Structure formats: C-alpha cells, structure tokens
Amino acid sequence: MKQINMKLVLGCSALLLTGQACTDLTETTYDVIPTSGTFGSTAGQQAALIGPLYNGLGDYYGALSNLNTTTDEQIVPTRGGDWKDGDNWKRLYTHTWDPITDNGQFNGPWTWCYNNITSINQQLGTITDANTKAELRALRAFFHYEAMDMFGNVIISDAVGAATPKQSSRADVFAWVEKELLAVYPSLSDVAGGAYYGRMNKYVVDMILAKLYLNAQVYTGTPRWADAITRCTNIIKSGKFQIAGDYLSNFTTQNQNSPESILSTPFDKSKRTGFNVQMKTLHYLSQLTYNIGTAPWNGWATVTEFYNSFDDKDLRKKQWIVGQQYKADGTPLKDDALDMVFRPEVESFVFDAGAFGRLAGARSQKYEIQKNNTYTDQDNDFVIYRLADVYMMRAEANFRLGNIADALPDLNIVRKRAGMPDYTTITADELLAERGRELAWEQHRRQDLIRFGQYTKAWRFKPASADFRQLYPIPKDQLSLNPNLKQNPGY
C-alpha cells in the first residue's frame, strides 16, 4: 500500500482485497468512521480495515538493513570523516556494539515489531470475519518470529494488555509462533499474487514455518529438519511460483510481477517511500552515471572476501559494481585526480580523506538503480521471501539429514539459473557460500551464519566474537519501560 492519506489508504485497501484498481476516491469518504459504530460489521469492511496494518510490514527493509552490517557480506568503512558516525558502523561490524551507546540500532527493530503487534491486537478486537482474523494473526506471528530471532527471550503479545507484559523464553515464543501459524493455516487464502501480493497467505505461512524449523536447533536446541522439508515442499508443489529466468529480474524497479516472489513489500518513490539502498551504496559522482536528482552518500560496500567468493562465470556477480565508472553519456569519471574505478579491495576499515578511500569496495546494484530519478527513494519492492530460498532451504535440510542425493537437485536448480555447473557433492561450507551468493543483501545472512556456526568467527577487520553476540541486546529503552524484561546474558 502507498502512504498518501487515510482516504486513499482505506479506499485502496478495500479495493485491493477484491483485486480491483483504485480509481475513484470521490464517491465514498473512507477516512470518516460512522459514528453509529456500524463500520466494520461486514467481512468486506473488516478487510478494508487491515490494509493500513500492512504498511508496517513495509518497514522490514528500513528496520533491519543496518544490522546486516553485523555480517561478512556488508561493510561501511569510514572514508575520511564520512560514515564515521561515532564508530557506530565499526562496532556493528566488529561485534563490539554497546547496549547503551548503540541503543538506537536495536530499539528501532524492537519497536518495529511491537508497535505493529500492538496495532494488530487493537484491530483484532473488532474483527469477526474468520479469514480476516486468520490473516492478521499470521501477520502478528511474523513480527513475533522476527523479534525472537533477533532478541531471543521476548514478549508474547496476543491481546491488548498491561503496560508491563512478561518476558517469555525463546523456546516458548517459538512454540507460540508455531501454534499460531498452524492454527490459522486452514483459514488462509491459497491465492498467490494479485490481490494477495504483499500479504499473508498459506505460502507465506509455509515459509515462516520453514524458517522456524530450519533454525529450530538454534532457537530451541532441537532440530526440525524434516518439518522444514515438508513446508518447503508445500510451496514448491503448489506450482504457484517459478524460478525467474533472469536472476536480477527479481529486483527491478517494476519487480511486482516476479514469478519467484512469495512475500515482497511494496515501495513507491514518491508515495510509499523508504527504499533507498542506491543512496547508501553509490559514490557521490554516481549521480552523473544514472542521472539521478541527488548525490548518493558513498557508504555501504561488500566485504572483499565475500565479493571474491563469486566465480567470474557466475551471473549473480553482476549484482556488484566494480571497475571504471562513466557519466550517462559515456565519458569516464574521475574522483579528484584518480580514475573513478571501484575496486573490490577494502584495505582498511578507516581510510584517510581522499579519493583512494572513497573508491574502495564493490557496490551493490542488485536492486536495479532507477535512472533519471529525481527522488531519493526508488520504486523497487523489497523481496522478503522468494522461491530460490525455498529450494536452498530444502536442500540444506536434506543435507543435514544425510540425504545428499535429494539435496543436490534443489541446489542445482538455483545453480543453473546462475550459469554455474551442477554440484556433484556438497559440504557445509560450500552450502553456506552458495546461500550467500544467491541471497546477498536480502537480510538472511546473520541467521545463516549463526546456523552454520560462523557468525562469531573472525573475518576481515573483525576478530572472533563471543557467542552471546548471536543475540542482540534488549534495548535499554525497553528495559526502562518494562521492569519485567531482563537483559540478555553477556550485556
């Protein structure tokens, strides 16, 4: 949904749910709820009320993208005085973040989860339609799953309640999320795309459950590999999704029709704003390459070793920008006296001022950079879940169970699209590397590294870190508000 005004949000929400276009905003006023209290008494009206709740799902990218810097695929070096930010990015990257100093990095994702949960709980009290209620409960479970993944022992909020709710163990939250999703599953739609684009349906719930089960050993101590396979197979056998022929077509500025997307969050450069990865990764002078209205900020790059994990024949390597850069008319660019050449090598986390540091690191063009764009935001929808991940999850679960013969065909479906030869055997390290190449900057890497026992290992500029860093700290703001919350061990 787009953030325009309440009339448009509610009007389009109602029409979205019937698969129609939103064209007439004059006949009915949607931003005035009848004082008689009768609005919301029908299934259609109740469906209209849930549209704005999905607006919060659109903040998935904004809430979590900074924390991808805690992984081995994203680095934000200090370039002179740029991006120093009190060494915030360095602490994230080296796993030396401080619960007090860096509270904002963690309070944002926490409040993203629980503000949305609160809004859903408030709306659920007015919903009587079984299908609408099931959809909202699934959305609420998704936010609980995200909170549990990041923070471990969190709050189960299943109703409008007290200001100081109790904290539950990670295992208990896991069990609650699983129970909720299984309970609502029969009442969810089996429609994929169209009116259900960006919404909870059976396939999204299968995906959340597959993620739960794939990481169950981390969350609860008990593996659930077979259950992960079942949920992945549900999605694959549905026939509702296909591997796109072109890898990068999943991330174009008009990617809403990707056959691979299971759950994406819609963005619009002027209405539902917030997707601006190009501003974070491109060089200031890249403004002249793409003829965009504002100079980018020259921050995010990928780690040298991560870039080097891509074979030169791997079509997915095209998601990175390296080499000489040009103006839109083909004229080679210079940064001061240096040719403007992005080099994969990031020699230091802290560079002196000057062009050499400004040009360090491969930049991301995975999400198509929107040319001739006068806005700082883009139209690309952010992909949360897609089919390639499903094949790779099923392959991993089979690998963990020792079923290599079943794992390889799923992996090779993804490899074929990348132009790479089939695997004839596989190791855990290579499986993790292949997930990285396929899913780079899609915000799955931290979870993957933890599951493979690699998150606290040393990598470039990062020493080995303590195991307690696998969980983020409970934000100090939340500890102050709720005395029932206890900080995670180690902080």
Give the burial string for 292-311 (b: 16+ CB within 10 Å, else e): beeebbbbbbbbbebbebbe
pLDDT averaged over every residue in the chain: 92
CA distance 177 to 208: 9
- For residue 303, what are its two tokens? 């780690």
Of the pLDDT bands very low, low, confident and very high (cuts 50, 70, 90), residue 51 is: confident
**Which of the two residues, 385 and 163, has the higher pLDDT score?**
385
Residue 6 pLDDT greater than 90, yes or no: no
Residue 322 pLDDT greater than 50, yes or no: yes
Of the pLDDT bands very low, low, confident and very high (cuts 50, 70, 90), residue 251 is: very high
β-strand pairing of 78-79 with 350-351: parallel
For range 277-290, the mean pLDDT: 98
pLDDT of residue 164: 84
- For residue 165, what are its two tokens? 């709710």
Taking the model in full, what pTM does it have? 0.91
Question: Which domains, ranges and CATH numbers included, belong to the chain?
Answer: 6-75+103-267+384-481 (1.25.40.390), 282-380 (no CATH)
Residue 231 pLDDT greater than 80, yes or no: yes
Residue 25 pLDDT greater than 70, yes or no: no
CA distance 111 to 413: 38
CB 351 within 8 A of CB 360: yes
β-strand pairing of 261-265 with 382-386: antiparallel
Of the pLDDT bands very low, low, confident and very high (cuts 50, 70, 90), residue 80 is: very high
Q: Read off the pLDDT of residues 391-437 as tens digits, 9 standing for 90 and up.
A: 999 999 999 999 999 999 999 999 999 999 999 999 999 999 999 99
**Which of the two residues, 452 and 126, has the higher pLDDT score?**
452
For range 183-191, the mean pLDDT: 98
Residue 314 pLDDT greater than 70, yes or no: yes
